[in-house]
Structure 1
Amino acid sequence: MRPTLHERWKRWQHGLVQSLLLYHGREDHATVRVLLLACIGTVGMPLYYVIWQHFFPQEYESLSLRLLGILLCALGLFARQFSRQMLNLYLLVALGYIFPFFFTFMFLMNHASGVWGESLLIGLVVLFHFDTGLALRAYVAGTALACIAASALGAGDMLTSRQVLQQVPIHWFTIAVLSVAKISRHVLAQEKLAGMGAGLATVAHELRTPLTSVDANVRGLLRMMADAQGHAHSPEDRLTIIDALARIQFEVRHMNHMIDLFLLSATAVRQKLHPVETVSMETVVEAVLRRYPFSSTKQQKMVRLEVRRNFQFAGQTELAVVVLLNLLRNALRAVQRAGKGRVRIIVDGAHQPPRLLFIDTGCGIPAQQMPLIFRRFYSHPPHNGAGIGLALCQEIMDAWAAKIRCVSRESAYAVFVLEFPQSPAIAR
């Protein structure tokens, strides 16, 4: 089946974005923007001279000013060879000349025509996508020089005309909006960095504890080996060694599990979440229980699976594993924090709609925290993970037209209810 026009367009967009990202990865961000704008300017300057001179003639046109603009744009094609200081100087001169000076001068000399009014506004939008301080310096210097040049050529009366003055508040409003938008982008970037930092902190915390345990067990074994040189190990020593090796094996399994869970969650964030297969709930729950690295037989016995009636749902097996691993991990943590309790997993296909219940009788969730638990980057208690797990679970369930909710009582229990559509329809 041939791809539709929309699919080909999306594919082309994706390819272009990936190419730009690859290019940005090899070059400095400012250098990339200079190169792209230099290419556009080198072509656009002569092209629009032809358009405004021959196809849609304007009152005033200047070949010499355009040639100077072409020269400045052509210099930008060699931005890779510029030092940082030289690049900043080039940006100030080139941006100041092309956007505020050239566009303002042509706007004034063409008696505030609509064509040049719109061109000037677009130029300001491009200008203030650069650093605000640099853009303001270029704007003030370029506009002042344009006004002086226009006055020297006899167009000074345009500076106080109604057509020009009414553009000033529009330009200032545009500059203000763009500056605020850049602040918002900066805040968003900081939030992303904070999210990455929280994720990395979680990884570090989750792996440091088992690594510390492994290190302690290895040091203990080394001491026992040193003490027992030339002597046979007693039965007690052998039992101690076996126990230490078992703990090391568990910690390694636990670290591998945590890495798997982080990788699964990271993959789930990027991949399409819509259902592509029919999944058996009992099968996926049993797979999760086999996969989870319980710290001991005692902890494993805390978890009980009850299948009232199995059911199937439209989803993805790996994503279902992500959801259930997150819920099981949270439930066992709640039991551990409370120092009491058990975990029950109930597969209830007889209920309408079919549902899965995750019940723990651990520490529960405070009432004031309940509205926040599915919010991304929120975790309770604070610093207890990156706050991505439950938010991701909800996103996955939403993609499957399923629901997840929580009923809890502090210091008593927490029940996560996962309800699935009765008649799954898989969209391929």
Structure 2
Amino acid sequence: MKPIPQERWKRWQQRLVQSLLQYHGREDHATVRVLLLACLGTVGMPLYYVIWSHFFPQEYESLPLRMFGILLCALGLFARQFSRGGLQLYLLVALSYIFPFFFTYMFVMNHASGVWGESLLIGLVVLFHFDTGVALRAYLIGTALACAAAVAQGEGAVLLSRPVLQQLPIHWFTITALSVAKISRNVLAQEKLAGMGAGLATVAHELRTPLTSVDANVRGLLRMMADAQGHTPDERLSIIDALSRIQFEVRHMNHMIDLFLLSATAVRQNLHPVETVSMEKVVETVLKRYPFASHSQQKMVRLELRHNFHFAGQSELAVVVLLNLMRNALRAVQRAGKGRVRIVVDGGHMPPRLLFIDTGCGITAQQMGLIFRRFYSHPPHNGAGIGLALCREILEAWSASIRCVSRDSAYAIFILEFPQPSVPSR
């Protein structure tokens, strides 16, 4: 039997991991990183000022530099209110100041002490856990400014000293190792997606033949039943109705296979825009291709064309996105046992947008942060969990965005926003 403290520690670890996953799911990934950086800096800057000033005094310390760092980190606590561009600008400024500039400057001003040498190395490790491009720019900017500030303070000779120069190979090796590790993780993720895509394609092709055979046999039976004698009218109608339902299921499975094949292709192909696409035509194509269960289900879906618009993308992939949204919306209506679906093409809005609205079961606050996470589905048996993740990946490749606003048991609105129309380069 395991010791009780060890069991409690494992339970605490599991709760912490689950809470972090849910927290990451509720926010945009960049926003989460800014918030974590802001919290870390707001607490760490004053804490280590006390440690290095009173408990383990260092040769050099600067309260004004730490105060500026605290203010900069405190500003990041309001990251949710930043625009996308403002968030990226703040991240570059904050990273440049906190890790390369502050840590490098303090390392030089303390004459390459062991404490600040290790602190600088840890700072670089944290820095290069962010996007490599942003981290590299921050490293170059912050390091250059720190060296210039040290020279201005008369410490230029320290920069060329052996204790400082011997740190450079260690830092560059650390940066290279972290960058290679991130590339390896991306390659593994792409391999997993490619394998999943190939698996979907194989399953789809394997299902085609039996489904075609079933469909052909049902059509033959329907013709025979139409001419058959010896059945009462009610019996014949029941048989014909059952065969019609089977035929619908076959059509629906063929549609799902088409969707799987398109999704598998999208996983492997270049998602970047290659044509100018009409949103009105895409929506009309989806309405024609979707296998509605009945005429009444088809009437649940209403198109509201306020103003058509064009966007840079790929028409077939745009169909994949809207088919996924249509399927999810109708399933939400089916689970709720009530509701309708409304598709609004609003090119007059700035930016141009498409609204996919259903008044079905809605999405709970707990699920909201996870719906765009790859391999997440709700209910758990409701698909492979690649639909919405794929939709976001496709739209981001077109510089567009997708987000959801929902109220549990009331509605869900998927908002697709596109940049101003432009003709993509071929």
TM superposition score category, shorter chain reference: 0.5 to 0.7
Q: Write the distance in 1 (CA, Å) between the matches of 2:207 and 2:16.
A: 38
**1:81 is aligned to 2:81:** yes
TM-superposed deviation, 1:11: 1.8
Q: Write the distance in 1 (CA, Å) between the matches of 2:80 and 2:212.
A: 47
TM-superposed deviation, 1:202: 4.3
Q: Write the distance in 2 (CA, Å) between the matches of 1:124 and 1:146.
A: 14
TM-superposed deviation, 1:199: 3.8
1:266-305 alignment runs, 5 A limit = none
Q: Write the distance in 1 (CA, Å) between the matches of 2:188 and 2:102.
A: 34
My pick for the range that moved more, 73-82 or 153-162, is 73-82
TM-superposed deviation, 1:101: 0.3
Name the residue aligned to 1:154: 154
Q: Deviations over 1:165-218 (max 9, x none)?
A: 111111111111111111111111112222332343344345444443333333
Distance 1:83 1:207, change over 3 A: farther
Name the residue aligned to 1:405: none
Secondary structure, counterpart of 1:154 in structure 2:
coil
Q: Which structure exhibits the higher relative contact order, with contacts defined as CA atoms closer than 8 Å and separated by 6 or more residues?
A: 2
TM-superposed deviation, 1:2: 8.5
TM-score (norm 2): 0.52
Name the residue aligned to 1:390: none
Q: Write the distance in 1 (CA, Å) between the matches of 2:75 and 2:93.
A: 11
**1:30 is aligned to 2:20:** no
Name the residue aligned to 1:50: 50
Name the residue aligned to 1:7: 7
TM-superposed deviation, 1:76: 1.4
Q: Write the distance in 2 (CA, Å) between the matches of 1:181 and 1:219.
A: 56
Q: Write the distance in 1 (CA, Å) between the matches of 2:7 and 2:206.
A: 42
TM-superposed deviation, 1:220: 2.6
My pick for the range that moved more, 16-25 or 173-182, is 16-25
Name the residue aligned to 2:103: 103
Secondary structure, counterpart of 1:47 in structure 2:
helix
TM-superposed deviation, 1:159: 1.0
TM-superposed deviation, 1:23: 1.9
Name the residue aligned to 2:195: 195
Name the residue aligned to 2:399: none
Distance 1:153 1:7, change over 3 A: same
Q: Write the distance in 2 (CA, Å) between the matches of 1:62 and 1:112.
A: 16
What one-letter code is carried by the residue in structure 1 that aligns with 2:198?
A
**1:113 is aligned to 2:118:** no
Q: Write the distance in 2 (CA, Å) between the matches of 1:48 and 1:84.
A: 32
Runs of 5+ unmatched residues, structure 2: 254-426
Q: Write the distance in 2 (CA, Å) between the matches of 1:53 and 1:4.
A: 40
Secondary structure, counterpart of 1:186 in structure 2:
helix
What one-letter code is carried by the residue in structure 2 that aligns with 1:174?
T
Distance 1:25 1:223, change over 3 A: farther
Q: Write the distance in 2 (CA, Å) between the matches of 1:141 and 1:87.
A: 18
Q: Write the distance in 2 (CA, Å) between the matches of 1:206 and 1:10.
A: 44
TM-superposed deviation, 1:120: 0.4
Q: Deviations over 1:212-269 (max 9, x none)?
A: 333333333333344x28x557xxxx9xx99x97xx79x99xx9xxxxxxxxxxxxxx
Q: Write the distance in 1 (CA, Å) between the matches of 2:80 and 2:203.
A: 38
What one-letter code is carried by the residue in structure 1 that aligns with 2:187?
V
Q: Write the distance in 1 (CA, Å) between the matches of 2:209 and 2:33.
A: 45
Q: Write the distance in 1 (CA, Å) between the matches of 2:218 and 2:26.
A: 44
Distance 1:66 1:3, change over 3 A: same
Please tell me the root mean square deviation across aligned C-alpha atoms, in Å. 2.9
Q: How many percent of aligned residue pairs carry the same amino acid?
A: 85
1:16-415 alignment runs, 5 A limit = 16-226=16-226, 228=227, 232=230
Distance 1:17 1:200, change over 3 A: farther
Q: Write the distance in 1 (CA, Å) between the matches of 2:181 and 2:86.
A: 28
Q: Write the distance in 1 (CA, Å) between the matches of 2:7 and 2:204.
A: 41
Distance 1:29 1:115, change over 3 A: same
What one-letter code is carried by the residue in structure 2 that aligns with 1:52?
W
